[in-house]
Structure 1
Amino acid sequence: MTLQHDLSTKTAAVIGAGPAGLMAAEGLAQAGVQVCVYEAKPSVGRKFLMAGKSGLNLTMDAPLDAFVPHYAEAADRLRPILQGFDAAAVQDWARGLGQEVFTGSSGRVFPRAMKASPLLRAWLVRLNDLGVQVQTRWRWTGFDGDALTFDQGRVTADVTVLALGGASWARLGSDGAWADILRGQDIAVTPFGAANVGLQVAWSAHMAPHYGQPVKAVAWQAGDLSSRGEAILSAKGLEGGGIYSIARAVREGAALSVDLMPDQTVQQVADRLAKKRGKESHANHIRKTLKLEPLKLALAQEWARPLPQDPQALARLLKALPVAHVGLRPLDEAISTSGGLSFDALDGALMLKARPGTFAAGEMLDWEAPTGGYLITACMATGRWAAQGAVAHLQAT
């Protein structure tokens, strides 16, 4: 970024201290702007740290043309933003903080330390060295003319970056309360929906012994979406990547089915079931001839009892077993959310058309993506893009 004039007297307020906000703060501070980050919670990066508890998936090691389509309707709008800070750039950025990364067999990229905390600590040191101030327990409440209002009072800044997250995991800071503030300013906000979220199932008592077990080697299908990912059976329903990746179609009303034997055709399954069973029970015959795991057989009986006796009919059923559920888990339990600040309300630099000098970034924007590094990458990329837009705005005014 080439500075056209000294910005050291300019100020920026960044609201929200997740990956998008911290990246925006970094970009602004590197340009010489005086930056203060305001965070409602007592500490920063809470959802970022939670994401790293099971291994911080920073990005997906894939070329841009394979990466961008995962953002569906927002793909075209996000393409230039992701091109400016792609998967390779995310990895270089982490290495620049002294955090080596590695790529797993699935293409997912993780820090060697796996956890988020070492990366976050190094990042905060960098921001401190750049002069970024961080104010915690400052909850944003809206606008008062050109000023920003917080529970603690009013703040004025030359530019503002809003990075307030979506509407899931409210206890970590993303409660979506900002949506009503912006709607009150006649700024378009698309209603929130649960994304990357588990399925709610009202299990019978017979399923209790299987709680905690993974459903493996299956294929989930909902509408145009399919997944070979695993799911964990819990007392509440089904959780895991296999369900998260098709949650959008379920949310939009598509029927969900699961193929319990995805590597075999209907005819192959039927031929095996057609073998004579002698005095064995129907359930034992299915289990032995198909070598079907107890959990898969339990799911078939849970959702389709009594199972068909005819081999062809049973084969078709096992290859497309309807999943009986009562919807997705609540919005607050979702890893991420759909909906948010409409791109129509923003210009190409992610500045609010209704409020020149105010930019937005991260999950508060109206995009969604699957897990696998796409979420964090887009948060960081949009934070960086918003910072660049804010710097350009300062240089032009």
Structure 2
Amino acid sequence: MSAEQSRVAVIGAGPSGLMAAEVLARGGARVTVFDRMPTAGRKFLMAGRGGLNLTHSEESARFLPRYGAAEDVLAPAIAGFDPDALRRWCRALGEDTVVGTSGRVFPASFKASPLLRAWLRRLDGQGVAFRPRHRWTGWDPDGTLRFETPEGPASVAVDATVLALGGASWPQLGSDGRWTGLLEAEGVWVAPLQPSNCGFAVAWSPVFRDRFEGAPLKGIALSFRDHASRGEVTVTRAGLEGGGIYALSGPLRDAIAAEGAAVLSIDLRPDLSPAAMADRLAVARAGKASVSTALRKALKLPPVAIGLLQEVAHAEGMPLGARDAQALAALVGAVPVRLDAPRPIAGAISTAGGITAGELDENHMLRRRPGTFAAGEMLDWEAPTGGYLLQACFATGAAAGAGTLAWLAAR
């Protein structure tokens, strides 16, 4: 059987699935993309509301370690479709890319919709068919695919399948994680799906919560054990959200699971040493200024930062005014915030967990289901925001498509 004679189903119309479909169609396969939603790329479009951070421009030696324990597993796929290849692919679709001051790469329009429209037009020109409102429900005994459709149950016979069903975040956009049970029933080992790049619950006092809900903490540094990040976080009624804490979500989540809670350290003035802060505070307090005034004038702290200090001081049972300049500076440089739980997975940006590496061969094929391949967030990896998420989704989609073609050709 050659690839040109083969019928291939791609289940999932996100970036991984669409990229797999493109590679397969280019290789001559007859491709049909199935998705439970009415239209393709809904989560991709949602990501575009933030500018669509496609990838990152940093060198490979820094880029690949962003994937942590999954670095070695993802390296071959990313080598096959790296950030430069992704940028060339965008350009071929008529969308140039730009590099932001942080090194992040965006489409020049800073929108997802033009890129997605151009992509879908190209797929249509390659003969890719789309079947919306088709929820995959597993396999029939003879190996055909089962779907729930508006017209009722349906079975589809194919020569190979690429699964690209996503994780479990933003389920209203399509990826609800229900596929885990279908694969586990086949004996596939799936690591439990968990929230990643997520906020965390904090038991704020009613006074702090009501006054500072929605207030951002800017220009701060965050750390947890040997992990650190810089970025903004926002106080919510439930706790903390934002890029600064998202970057630490993996170790924080794992610590909470193991120990019941985790203490995040926030440096409110990371560009000032404790000694410099103490000197400024000592001068301000010598003039009989209140502690809040001293913090505002000497360290330029905004009301939400001062409120956070007061919140922590109250919890510790030692008011800010009872601390000398050195103790106050030490607190400003390392505000301890107890995190009680990650926010629910449905509200996370992405998920951790999924099909474990040992369940896939070098072609991204399930060892327990020959002819079935997997890509994207279905796989057991996680990464911080900054372009790493979409890069791995595109790359593993391309790898799964190429692996499917190789398997079909070998048959």
Fold shared by both chains (TM-score > 0.5): yes
In the other structure, the counterpart of 2:227 is 225
Partner amino acid for 2:84? A
The alpha-carbon deviation at position 302 of structure 1 amounts to 1.5
TM-score, L = length of structure 2: 0.93
Say if 2:140 is the partner of 1:138: no
State the match for 1:150 in structure 2: 147
Is the contact between residue 2 and residue 408 of structure 2 (CA under 8 Å) also seen in structure 1?
A: no
Contact 2:263 2:339 (8 Å CA) reproduced: no
Q: What is the CA distance between 1:293 and its match in structure 2?
A: 2.0
- Tell me the SS of whatever aligns to 2:385: coil
Structure 2 residues not aligned, in runs of 5+? 256-261
- 2:264 aligned partner, one-letter code: L
Cα RMSD after superposing both structures: 1.4
Aligned length: 393
1:268 equivalent among 261, 276, 279: 276
**Mapped partners of 2:382, 2:169: distance in 1:** 13
Structure-1 separation of matches of 2:178 and 2:80: 30
**How is 1:226-305 mapped onto 2 (pairs within 5 angstroms)?**
226-253=228-255, 254-275=262-283, 276-305=285-314
**Deviation string, structure 1 residues 291-339 (Cα, Å, up to 9, x no partner):** 2222211111112232242222222111111013332211110000010
Distance 1:299 1:269 in 2: 17
Q: Aligned-pair distance for 1:206?
A: 3.1
Give, as a single letter, the amino acid of the residue that structure 1 aligns with 2:174: G
Tell me, yes or no, if structure 1 residue 13 matches structure 2 residue 14: no
Q: For 1:255, what is the secondary structure of its paired residue? A: strand
Q: Which deviations, in whole Å up to 9, do the C-alpha atoms of 1:225-273 show, x marking residues without a partner?
A: 2111111223332221111101112101242110111111222222222
| Percentage of matched positions with identical amino acids | 51
Residue 407 of structure 2 aligns with which residue?
393
Q: Which moved further from structure 2: 109-118 or 234-243?
A: 234-243
Cα distance in 1 for partners of 2:197, 2:377 equals 13
Structure 1: 4+ residue segments shifted above 4 A: none
Matched position secondary structure for 2:85: helix
Residue 37 of structure 2 aligns to a residue whose secondary structure is coil
Q: Aligned residue for 2:374?
A: 360
Whether the 8 Å CA contact 1:224–1:249 is kept in 2: the answer is no
Unaligned runs of 5+ in 1: none
CA distance in 2, matches of 1:185, 1:43: 29
Corresponding residue number in structure 2 for 1:191: 192
SS in 1 for 2:52: coil
Instruction: Determine helix, strand or coil for the equivalent of 1:109.
Output: strand
* TM, length-normalised to structure 1: 0.96
Q: CA deviation at 1:66?
A: 1.7
Please, which moves more after superposition, 59-68 or 165-174? 59-68
Cα distance in 2, alignment partners of residues 248 and 211 from structure 1: 24
